[in-house]
Amino acid sequence: MPDAEVYYEPTFFSKEESNRYFNELQQQVGWQQEHIRMFGRQVAMPRLTAWYGDKGYTYSGLQNEPKPWLPLLLELKQAVELRTGNHYNSVLLNYYRQGSDSMGWHADNEPELGQNPSIASLSFGGTRRFGFRQRQNKEQKNHYLTLQHGSLLLMQGPTQHFWQHSIPKTATAVEPRINLTFRFVY
């Protein structure tokens, strides 16, 4: 992909480790149903979410305050930091209950994430397709990855300037999926 820096490691964690992480995340994370305002109406987001991180900064997104780190999330953060060589202070979690749960096209380009953010993304549970499309040149063909149970996806460099990503809905029967995106918030 031009103007992107994306790495994908399909088996960052073993199947056994990944099964354990999925179960623990499902049970321990404070999953919330958030709503977005659309055409003057409150619409339930098509997934559950949670936000954990260091305190002491404000964030203009949907949730106003991160929850304090759980030991489980610190363990995952450390594994990701060792592998990527980056430092993260915040994690956004998504729980896709079924194929109709999804995330629309967007870039992780909030000003709080800095100029060229490094986003490290872990996937557990059902495999889902992850799409990339160029922000300017929509004629460029989209690229898709199938994010596996226990995988690590790293997006950094100029990626968020030039590309959007999404988790499309699927009509195929899929197992629930948990995603964690580690970020550094300034």
Ligand X SMILES: O=C(O)CCC(=O)C(=O)O
Q: Which residues bind ligand X (CB under 6 A)?
A: 92, 94, 103, 108, 121, 130, 147, 165, 167, 179, 181
Residue 153 C-alpha from the chain's centroid = 9
Q: Which is nearer to ligand X, 17 or 108 (CB)?
A: 108
The terminus-to-terminus CA distance of the chain in angstroms comes to 28
Minimum CB separation from ligand X for residue 144, in Å?
A: 12
Query: DSSP letters along 62-106, please?
Result: S-SSPBPPPHHHHHHHHHHHHHH-----EEEEEEE-STT--EEEE
Q: Which is nearer to ligand X, 24 or 183 (CB)?
A: 183
Report which residue's Cβ sits closest to ligand X.
179
Q: Which is nearer to Mn ion, 34 or 108 (CB)?
A: 108
Residue 35 marked ligand-binding: no
Residue 184 marked ligand-binding: no
Query: How is residue 142 written in tokens?
Result: 């989209």
Say how far apart CA 72 and CA 182 lie, in whole Å. Answer: 14
Residue numbers of the site for Mn ion (CB under 5 A)?
A: 108
